[in-house]
Chains A and B, each alone.
Chain A
Amino acid sequence: MNALQVTGLIARHGRRAVLRGADLHVGQGSITALLGQNGSGKSTLMRSVLGVHPRTGGTVRVLDLPENASGPRVRERVTYVPTGGAVLPQETARTHFAFGARIYPRWNPQRALDTAAELHVPLDQRAGRLSTGQRMGLALAYALGSSTELLMLDEPTNGLDPDHRQLLAQFLVAYAAEGHSVLLSSHVLPEVEGLADHGAFLKDGRVILEADLDELRTQHAVVQAILPDVLPSGSIQRLSSVSGVRGFEVQGRTLTVHVQGGREALLAALANLKPVDIQIKPRPLAEVYDDLLGGGA
């Protein structure tokens, strides 16, 4: 059973199509990252899953519920934390938790209190008077207290200082270690690297790639060759048609090639250039991310 299965999701903001047939799945016990630039539709996707944002097409299947189920039976098994955290300004952390105990069948009061304590959230102060970071802390404590099988967090690290980001990562890991599933969005890959085992790359309203992130690391490599002489660009251009080659750059006698999948064809082609030395290195996932979604985020 998947925690979440989204197929061909279409959603609009007014006349603009924000999601144009997005596919995504979150496996049970997985921490999945929904990656994309700002404005790529990450928030809309999460909101559409819950039905908070209307869907124009596609199907959503949450846990073992029927396709496109909605209402309380979804909300008591899935928690969603929007960017910045949504809290009731007139209520305190304590009254939030009392409310959570009423709606969530598996509410875990201890986890809510522990999370609040670690994130320095005062329990008896109205949420409207909390700092930005404390408000996010309260939203997280509430979400983790819910003990729902699926937790969706929209850019949860926004507004958290580095120490609290590390704590958040530890909370999410502990949560997933109990078999819960997590979907979190980010536009900064390094922030979720390691934390997420699976990734969905969202661009222009579609998931252009969904992959096991370690699998992706295995696939991509950098091959660097030192050539005997500076070569005419024509003989190097030929490399772009070699199977697996995703791009290359030349700096003097150094040729750097990005390769995906098997490296044999590339190594054979490079041998023809009579290189002085060749090195194969892992390619950081951040570079793969930039290639897929456009850099500069």
Chain B
Amino acid sequence: MTQEPSEERGVLEWITPHVNPHSGIPIYIQIVQAFARAIQRGTLRPGESLPTVRLLAQTLRLAPNTVTRAYAELQRQGLIESRAGAGTTVLSRPVTQFTDEASRQALTDELHDVLHRMLASGLTVTDLRRLLDNFTASSTQDVL
């Protein structure tokens, strides 16, 4: 099929195992998370190109609407930008700030999930507070 530049081919090969249409996780979210992680870790650098919607959809055999939705969400999060003629690229400047904030938000969400599970499994807020105190005490010791 179509010949794509090697940079894009790398992205296509890298993202393929990150998207599983049968997992039950919304597919557009799987794409968003895969790219967001890649941008946070520097796998994808500012200014680098993302494949076109058509090419990514064709490679992963996904409805183009799903990929469009994922790109729109990444754009909304300030991680990428799409410009006519220039295609879709990883945003250059605001990206570091945004990723810090985004990754902090992701970690906070994860913590909320865990706290929810702990409370649901019968722990009280007092128990949680004691855990946190123990944790800070031990990690301070580590540092000292």
Contact = CB atoms under 8 A, between A and B. Distances in A.
B120 to A, nearest CB: 5
Nearest to B116: A267
Interface residues of B, number: 30
Contacts of B117: 277-280
Contacts of B18: none
Contacts of A173: 54, 57-58, 61-64
Contact of B122 (A27, A196, A271): A271
Interface stretch (B25-33, B83-91, B127-135): B25-33
Query: Sorted from nearest, which 6 A-B pairs have the closest CB atoms?
Result: A194-B21, A282-B24, A197-B63, A177-B54, A214-B26, A169-B61
A264 to B, nearest CB: 9
Interface in B75-108: none
B113 interface: yes
B23 interface: yes
B45 interface: no
B64 A176 contact: yes
B127 to A, nearest CB: 13
Interface of A: 27, 29-31, 166, 169-170, 173-174, 176-177, 190, 193-198, 213-215, 217-218, 220, 225, 267, 270-271, 274-286
B53 interface: yes
Nearest to A193: B21
Interface in B6-59: 19, 21-29, 53-54, 57-58
Nearest to B117: A278
Given A271-B119, A276-B121, A166 B61 contact: yes
A276 B117 CA distance: 9
A185 to B, nearest CB: 16
A217 B25 contact: yes
Contacts of B113: 280
A73 B135 CA distance: 72
Given A214-B27, A280-B113, 18 more contacts: A27-B65, A31-B64, A166-B61, A173-B61, A176-B57, A177-B57, A177-B58, A194-B27, A194-B66, A195-B21, A198-B63, A279-B117, A281-B24, A283-B24, A284-B22, A284-B23, A284-B24, A286-B22
A141 to B, nearest CB: 16
A190 B24 CA distance: 11
Contacts of A220: 24
A163 to B, nearest CB: 13
8 contacts: A27-B65, A166-B61, A177-B54, A195-B63, A225-B120, A271-B122, A279-B117, A280-B113
Contact of A176 (B23, B29, B63): B63
Contacts of B72: none
Contact of A170 (B27, B28, B61, B116): B61
A198 B121 CA distance: 37
Contact of A197 (B53, B65, B120): B65
